[in-house]
Amino acid sequence: MKIGVIGTGYVGLVTAVCLSDLGHAVQGTDIDADKIDKANQGISHIYEPGLEELLKKNLKSGNLSFSHDLHQTIQDSNVLFVCVNTPQREDGSADMCYVEGTSRSIAENLNTYKLIVEKSTVPIQTSMWIKRTISLYKKGDADFDVASNPEFLREGSAVYDFMNPDRVIIGAESDRARDILVKIYKKYSDKILVTNIDTAELIKHASNSFLAMKISYINLMSELCDKTDANVELVAKGMGLDPRIGPLFLRAGLGYGGSCFPKDVRALIKIGEDLGVDLTLLKEVDRINRDRIQSFIQKIKKALWIIKDKKIAVLGLAFKPETDDLRNAPSIYLIEALQKEEAVLRLYDPEALDNMKSVFPEQSPSLLYTDNPYDAVRDANATLIVTEWEEFKNLDLDKIKTLMANPIIIDGRNVFDPEDVKKLGFEYYSVGRK
């Protein structure tokens, strides 16, 4: 079996590398020549723990290769994983033009039977459109199937997640398609759930929106905690002890970001609108998430009164730890809001600095990047914690206190223990805790 992976972005590169590590012959292809050149040299274009080692290992073993030639990759493969991006359009819907373009390329190169697997997150009923497009544009009489195999990879632990799946969802509507995918994932046979394609497509959107809902729910509870003596961490702990609720994804803070949750919630709202199903519940999830930034700005104002001309250190820019990804990162919306208030900003992140420089170019002196957290907090009137990197949990707080102009920490991710920090002489604000 030869597997082609179309699109070697976050999802595609991890998929290609991990499938080859399972022992399959895999070729990745991408319209971005730089990504292919890098991959062929064993360089991962994304920061993802463990990925580069596996990339090098499988290039060396000969299981894995990368090609600039989409047409050749399609012709040479029996199975094609479609991992191109499905960006958000202005109305919230997913832009399917790359999936459509890929479907046409597959049709033009359909020399033998091929199984086309949707890996990208796509709206329910996309497989019907892929089938129709390929049927419309294919020239020969080679047969094909479409299947859905949604990814559940979390950035920062994508390789681990691929190798240790909770479930492998296979949406297939022919025995041939099902059998191929079951064989590919033989190692995880006890984790496989086979459904029809619409169901598999919806499982992905339903899962992400549910997790986003848990986060918005606990963030809403954190507002009640802020106004009373309740502690949101203990509320989450108490809730999570009920196995029907579970303890995960109940961390209150600055809300969810990333390439999936914000986009997928809005896409599902739009899918509901298109199908005549009222998903107002998810509109609230989205609204609560957006409100996190203003709620945090209010906390900063409570501490500083006026933000204008105040020197503020922002620690953490990535949308979550262990990634350099800034897509929909709360830090971006926060920095925009702080710039509106004319703050003087010093920004630091262990991995995302370079990416952030293309979002906010340095503007001396109102916005500068620093190589370490201590330079960021020097003479600051307040330090904000925006991403819960391990590095921040181990900061030398005594040193921070002597470096800052005013020892004020406003912690958007509840990284520190309030008692400990206050004992050190800091004024400390966090989310849903006193």
Closest separation in Å from C-beta 393 to ligand UDX: 15
Q: Which two tokens stand for residue 6?
A: 């179309």
Least distance (Å) between residue 401 CB and ligand UDX: 27
Residue nearest ligand UDX (C-beta atom): 9
Question: Any idea what the Cα angle at residue 304 is, between residues 298 and 308, rounded to 5°?
Answer: 90
Q: Distance (Å, rounded) from C-alpha 309 to C-alpha 320?
A: 28
User: Contact residues for ligand UDX (CB under 6 A)?
Assistant: 6-12, 30-32, 35, 83-86, 98, 101-102, 120-121, 151-155, 208, 211, 215, 249-251, 253, 255-261, 319-320
Considering beta carbons, is residue 151 or 344 the nearer one to ligand UDX?
A: 151
260 catalytic per annotation: yes
Name the minimum Å distance from CB 365 to ligand UDX: 30
For residue 274, the minimal CB distance to ligand UDX (Å) is 18
Q: Name which of 245 and 424 has its Cβ closer to ligand UDX.
A: 245
Name which of 98 and 374 has its Cβ closer to ligand UDX: 98
- Between residues 319 and 428, which has the closer beta carbon with respect to ligand UDX? 319
How many other CB atoms sit within 10 Å of the CB of residue 273?
14
Shortest distance in whole angstroms from residue 353 CB to ligand UDX: 18
CB of 301 to ligand UDX, least distance (A): 22
Interior/surface letters 53-65, b for 16+ CB within 10 angstroms, e for the rest: ebbbebbeeebbb
> Given the complex with ligand UDX, which of 46 and 368 has the nearer CB atom?
46
Catalytic entry in 18, 83, 225, 260: 260
Whose Cβ is closer to ligand UDX: residue 215's or residue 404's? 215
- Give me the active site residues, please: 260
